[in-house]
Amino acid sequence: MKTVHLVQHTHWDREWYFTENDSKAVLYYFMDDLLQRLEEDITLGPFVLDGQTVVIEDYLSVAPHQETRLRKLIEQGRIVTGPWYTQSDFLVVGAESITRNLLLGQADCQRFGGKMPIGYVPDSFGQSAQLPMFLQQFAIDYAVIWRGWSEFNVPHSEFSWQAADGSKVTTAVLPWGYGCAKWLPEEPCAGQKALEPILAKQTRFSLTDHVLLPNGNDQSPFEYRVPAMLDQLNQQQDEYRFVRSSFSQFFQALEKTNVPLPLYQGELISPKYMRIHRGIFSTRVDIKQLNAQLEQTLSQHLEPLLAVNWRLGLPYPQSAVESIWREAMKSHAHDSIGGCNSDRVNAMVKNRLESGLEMANQLIDLNMKMLAEGITAQQDGKKIIIFNARPQRSHGLVELTIFTPEQDFRVVDSEGKECRWQIVEESRQDMSIIVQELSNSTETTWYRKCLLLLEVTDIPACGYQTFYLQEGVRAGFLQQTQPVVKLENEWLRLEANKKGILTLTDKRSQQIYPHILQLVDGGDAGDNYNYSPPFEDWLINSDEFLTSLHGVQGPLQSSLTLNWQMAVPQNLAARQERCANAELDITMIVTLAHSNAWLDVQISVNNTVCDHRVQVLLPTGVAQHVHFADQPFGLIERPNLPPEMAVWQDEQWTEAPVALYPMQSQVMMHDAQRGLSTVTKGLREYQIPEDRQDVIAVTLLRSVGWLGQANMPYRPGRASGMVLPSPDSQIQGMHHFKLSILAMNNGADSVFWRDVERARGNLHAWLATGWSRFRTNPHGHVFPPHYSVLSWDTELHFSTLKKAQQSDALVVRGWSPSTQTQACGVISTNGDVTSATLAEIPLKTPQDIVSGCAPVTFIIDFEGVKTC
């Protein structure tokens, strides 16, 4: 006899084709009914509140008077919640976001008196290979998942899932989804008839005689009569024994069977039985870029700056920062960050991210202002604060915007030594828009607005150095620029022919990469969920459409600017007729700094056409069958051509398992002699074309006009979501993209990884003009002209520096980007250093090494140490 574990739940999308306001209104009545049913019948429960504490937060925002009733049921274990704050996507959002999601979800669970110790992920569009690591870092031993699994990965629906660092969790798959047993009849005979096909499917891949039966669905009412119906079925048949259960009880029963579990290591992105919607990685790229910018601003600029200022004696606005994170995470759910929503919801998602970025930038501005205010000037001029978030001394180029009425100026350090700079952009600025005191003036005050590239050295680790802008003083170095037709430094050479076709030479190895950075426009017959080419696509590249090409060499960097007007179809109908009746204006600026071994690329697209996709190609010339991309806190190897492509149509998979993949910010393909890698700013998708296996195609944007459509080439059958027009997803208008290109002359060696980290950049510049949108009283502190909280001698990549969640300590985190085990390195600071988990729980033994593709966290306690 098989034991069927009834787990009653709801899956609560905060937004989708409906808004979060709609959701909260429904939640008010849903929760009112749930509380009443559980209180009236003590035999009911436990009830799974979708594994995310934001449901509680939303409910109490509209029904604060119900907190006592809700808290009591949670403490009794009859309503189970957490461990997540929101049901996040795991392939698009960043590693720090996933960490903070669990950290804040854990804090909420502690507040309300109960946490479900299960990594419940019912609807994420694919599963990260790193999920077991995240869960184990928070002492969670079990996971329940849905999308992404098939027997191509592991033959059974119960298995031991191992992350790259060796972390394991016992995992159960819901093969047919969290809603497979929704809306069951109340009468036993009808219930038995409904359950027969459901249980036949549920037991198909089961390893033991214990089977999960999830009863619930999207925003669906509590089916409180189902347990009694199943009790009656227990008296009427002997094939199944139905028990009122929970995920925890299921895993306890599974362990008691002593059946060995198969081991699986890797990600789960198979769309055989359930769609994972390959395409959401590039849907609404404006939202993806904004989210990446916010994540980077929070974890690698604002929080490190606040940590430094806190050690100098300024307040750390922890609640304000947490509020930004929480609002961001409300935009991290699979539909929300995926962009597979109605236009109204996508606008709300974008607004939350924009609002978070506004507040983060204002906190940065105020804290930079307070920092500059406390520094006693060492030289004449306006103070320039160069802030270094990384835990190693840094040097390089940093962007700085200045406003000045003077034609001449120079920049010096605290000892008066002059720094070199280069003007990247210049325009006129009406200062009444910036300076509050000038806003009511009857005359316009015009200044030069200059975006500078400033060369700096010896910037303290996790700290700052003070420089000075001296206006009206001529710079003491040659600033002239001159035209060039190629870019070249000691490492690289980039040449363009008359058509703008680019060839890159790696001077270290003499390897040549022809036709690099070619642009390709193709049709997109998909929807917000899936990219899907038309049945007969027409690909158009940039080779014949160059309108201008010019280059310039300056004291710090050289650049080539290419402009194209690509003749392309206006829409799918025109593409089918092979009618190029529209133009796509694209500008590419390729920059090579004299001191860097990589190219920086800016691409601007004026998107005036519909139903298409634009990609930039990186032909590697590498004869390999695999490539690598980054994932949260690590690297993953993927096949260039998924073997499942050979069988998906014959086996009637839910969508094509094409080599269209997610990344955090990096993808690379290489052998021992040659290869290319790109590091992007907010671009989350790449593809290995089926007919060009040595090419990395990075998706810049895709334009579609429907939330869901049916019968697409890459996704046959029913529509996903709703068949609802979403014209805003055509994302018309100007879009700007940034990426760096690194040639690989010796594989992924330590020099390469150092360049990758430098290409990401963690230097920030701020000019103390004396102007401010908001006035503040003097804080009275005096700060040194340069300062460092800590330094960390390590090859690990930097993740964050922040205040601890629940103590007056600092947390610093790094991660191993390669698959190799590395030494953690030594932290130098005046506080006590303790190894810890992502949950900020101290480890019993110090951590000296870190596995490949894993994070390492340290808590620094300054108790008894005076602030500076």
Encode pLDDT of 239-262 as tens digits.
Answer: 999 999 999 999 999 999 999 999
pLDDT surpasses 70 at 84: yes
From the options 3.30.60.50, 2.40.30.10, 3.20.20.70, 2.70.98.30, give the CATH code of 502-745: 2.70.98.30
Which amino acid type is present at position 396?
G
Mean pLDDT confidence for 500-514: 98
695-703 and 786-788: which strand pairing? Answer: unpaired
CA gap 110, 114 in Å, rounded: 6
| Number of Cβ atoms within 10 Å of the Cβ of 496 | 19
- The top-level CATH class assigned to 279-434+445-470 is mainly alpha
Q: In the numeric block, which tokens belong to residue 425?
A: 């952009």
CATH of domain 790-868: 2.60.40.2220
Write the DSSP symbol of residue 728. Answer: G
738 by Cβ neighbours in 10 Å (0-12 / 13-18 / 19+) ranks as: middle
Quickly tell me which residue has 């990609």 as its tokens.
615
* Angle between helices 54-62 and 95-112 in degrees, nearest 10: 60
Which amino acid type is present at position 478?
L
CA gap 530, 526 in Å, rounded: 5
State pLDDT tens for residues 197-214: 999 999 999 999 999 999
Radius of gyration of the chain (CA): 28
CA gap 762, 757 in Å, rounded: 9
CB 741 within 8 A of CB 678: yes
Average pLDDT, the chain: 96
Confidence of residue 2 (pLDDT cuts 50, 70, 90): very high
pLDDT surpasses 90 at 330: yes
In this prediction, residue 97 carries a pLDDT of: 98
Confidence of residue 480 (pLDDT cuts 50, 70, 90): confident
CB 263 within 8 A of CB 23: no
Cis peptide before 46 (omega within 30 of 0): yes
State pLDDT tens for residues 757-784: 999 998 999 999 887 778 889 999 999 9
Mean pLDDT confidence for 90-95: 96
CA 635 from centre of chain: 14
Q: What percent of the chain lies above the pLDDT cut of 90? A: 95
pLDDT surpasses 80 at 147: yes
For the chain, the structural domain boundaries read 2-265, 279-434+445-470, 502-745, 790-868
CB 801 within 8 A of CB 391: yes
Write the DSSP symbol of residue 229. Answer: H
- Identify which of 272, 262, 274, 93 has the alpha carbon closest to the alpha carbon of residue 162: 262
Cis peptide before 83 (omega within 30 of 0): yes
- Identify which of 160, 200, 171 has the alpha carbon closest to the alpha carbon of residue 4: 200
Mean pLDDT confidence for 413-422: 97
660-662 and 685-687: which strand pairing? Answer: antiparallel
pLDDT surpasses 80 at 440: no
DSSP, collapsed to helix, strand or coil, labels residue 207 as coil
Write the DSSP symbol of residue 638. Answer: E
210-215 and 2-9: which strand pairing? Answer: parallel
Q: What's the sign of the alpha-carbon dihedral 238, 241, 242, 247?
A: negative
Q: In the numeric block, which tokens belong to residue 685?
A: 């998708």
Mean pLDDT confidence for 785-789: 98
In this prediction, residue 10 carries a pLDDT of: 97
Strand residues in 571-658 grouped as ranges (E): 582-593, 599-607, 612-619, 626-631, 634-639
502-745 has the same fold as 2-265? no
791-793 and 826-828: which strand pairing? Answer: antiparallel
- Identify which of 802, 833, 836, 399 has the alpha carbon closest to the alpha carbon of residue 593: 399
In this prediction, residue 868 carries a pLDDT of: 64
Q: In the numeric block, which tokens belong to residue 125?
A: 């569009």
CB 381 within 8 A of CB 419: no
Quickly tell me which residue has 């299960």 as its tokens.
118
> Could you please report the per-residue DSSP string of 271-334?
-SSS---TBTTTTTHHHHHHHHHHHHHIIIIIHHHHHHHHHTT----HHHHHHHHHHHHTT-BH
Query: C-alpha distances in angstroms, 606 versus 104, 381, 573, 626?
Result: 40, 41, 21, 34
pLDDT surpasses 90 at 430: no
Contacts of 754 (CB under 8 A, 6+ apart): 795
In this prediction, residue 762 carries a pLDDT of: 84
Mean pLDDT confidence for 75-103: 97
Q: What percent of the chain lies above the pLDDT cut of 70? A: 100
CA gap 489, 591 in Å, rounded: 11
First to last CA, the chain: 69
Kindly give the residue spans of alpha helices, DSSP state H, lying in 113-246. 131-137, 188-202, 226-236
Which amino acid type is present at position 153?
N
pTM of the prediction? 0.97
CATH of domain 2-265: 3.20.110.10
Phi-psi region of 419 (alpha: psi -120 to 50; beta: other; left: phi over 0): beta
Contacts of 397 (CB under 8 A, 6+ apart): 453, 454, 455, 456, 556, 557, 593, 595, 596
CA gap 311, 285 in Å, rounded: 38
Mean pLDDT confidence for 352-362: 98
The helix (H) or strand (E) run that includes residue 661 is strand 660-662
pLDDT surpasses 90 at 614: yes
pLDDT surpasses 80 at 442: no
Q: In the numeric block, which tokens belong to residue 718?
A: 């029913």
In this prediction, residue 649 carries a pLDDT of: 96
CA gap 39, 47 in Å, rounded: 12
- Phi/psi at 129 (5° precision): -65, -15
Q: In the numeric block, which tokens belong to residue 594?
A: 């004299």
